[in-house]
Chain A
Amino acid sequence: AIRMTQSPSSFSASTGDRVTITCRASQGISSYLAWYQQKPGKAPKLLIYAASTLQSGVPSRFSGSGSGTDFTLTISCLQSEDFATYYCQQYYSYPSFGPGTKVDIK
């Protein structure tokens, strides 16, 4: 089974900050990686797929990069609506999610 890890598990940030979340796979997954945002009590929302392709309707301040085992999600200028938990998910084998990274207000 492919294990996904994320770092950090949580952190505090301020509106306007540039933030980066890292996701690592236990083995190479090419670019079969997606990023989701989840707010409390809501379903996850797809942000990025194929490691770097922005889902339609998602603001351009979100970007993804990486391939193989190491991936990053970057929010270029954090907005108030971006405080949430972020999950990566690999699709190389049967899908599995990372443990999540919670971004809260500093």
Chain B
Amino acid sequence: QVQLQESGPGLVKPSQTLSLTCTVSGGSISSGSYYWSWIRQPAGKGLEWIGRIYTSGSTNYNPSLKSRVTISVDTSKNQFSLKLSSVTAADTAVYYCARGGYDSSGTWGQGTLVTVSS
């Protein structure tokens, strides 16, 4: 059974780049036809889809974040990553990675809290 685990700094300074990695275990990130996504949730608020990368390497991003987001895959490490540049306090949230098809995300990581503060 595939499991996902987010990792990365829990504290990022304003204007810097947030970098998170999602490690996939129990299966190969390059097998099958899946979308590998990032979603975030500020404390006490709803879910916001950030973007995704397909098995082929193609990406889709939330237009509201597109200028600051990069999602990439490292098949040798069975990981995919999120980079969000020029962060502000508004980017403070729990960040989740997830795997799914085009129409849903059925497998999620447990989430990791990232705080943007000086």
Contact = CB atoms under 8 A, between A and B. Distances in A.
Interface residues of A, number: 23
Q: For chain B, give the interface size range.
A: 20 to 34
A43 B109 contact: yes
B62 A91 contact: no
A46 B105 contact: yes
B48 interface: yes
Contacts of A42: 110
A94 B103 contact: no
Q: Is the interface of B mostly helix, strand, loop or mixed?
A: strand
Interface string B95-108: 01010111111101
B43 to A, nearest CB: 11
Q: Is the interface of A mostly helix, strand, loop or mixed?
A: loop
A42 B47 CA distance: 12
Contacts of A87: 46-47
Could you say which of A1, A38, A46 has the most chain B C-beta atoms within 10 Å of its C-beta?
A46
Interface of B: 37, 46-49, 52, 60-63, 96, 98, 100-106, 108-111
Given A43-B110, A46-B104, A87-B47, 20 more contacts: A34-B103, A34-B105, A44-B47, A44-B96, A45-B108, A49-B106, A50-B104, A89-B49, A91-B102, A91-B103, A91-B104, A94-B49, A94-B61, A95-B49, A95-B52, A96-B62, A98-B46, A99-B46, A100-B46, A100-B47
